[in-house]
Amino acid sequence: MSQAVNELDDEDQALAIDVQQSKFLGDVQTVEAAIQLQTTELKQMIDRQSDRLLREVKVARQQREQEVDRRKNDVKRNQLVLQDFQKYSEEVKDKSTTPKGMVGDLLLREGRGLLIRAPTTDIGSLNPGYGPGTTVSLKLLPQV
């Protein structure tokens, strides 16, 4: 009889171990599902943050490109004004009947006046070597 009692105890212990194993496996599945859910939520949050940052970079890039284009156009326009003035001054000089020294002085005075009225170009934000507000004027004519 004691052998039968021992066999029942062994069967009860085996059954208890199976129940514990089943509970453990159920708990493992629950933890795995929770980890997968949290991982999915984190990935979505990272994707949203990444998309937001990429949009900000795109807007900053577009604004910078527009500013660079605007400044390039300003420089080109100033160059054209100076080229037109130089052509005009050469024509006046060639057609003039006054002595060359007087014409040269007149042209230099007029050129300086044009440069004083011409806007300066802010290059500080275009070139990282210069600080904001750094300006360059296009002075081509010598002092008299």
Where residue 139 falls among pLDDT bands split at 50, 70, 90?
very low
More confident residue, 76 or 8: 76
pLDDT of residue 138: 47
C-alpha to C-alpha distance for 111 and 56, rounded to whole angstroms:
45
* Confidence (pTM): 0.47
Supply φ then ψ for residue 136, to 5 degrees: -135, 130
User: Residue with structure tokens 């105890």?
Assistant: 9
Per-domain boundaries in the chain = 2-136
Report which of 68, 85, 84 is spatially closest to residue 122, judged by C-alpha positions. Answer: 68
pLDDT in tens, 99-137: 555 556 666 666 666 555 555 555 455 555 555 555 545
Q: How far does Cα 9 stand from its chain's mean position?
A: 74
Where residue 55 falls among pLDDT bands split at 50, 70, 90?
very high
pLDDT in tens, 12-33: 888 999 999 999 999 999 999 9
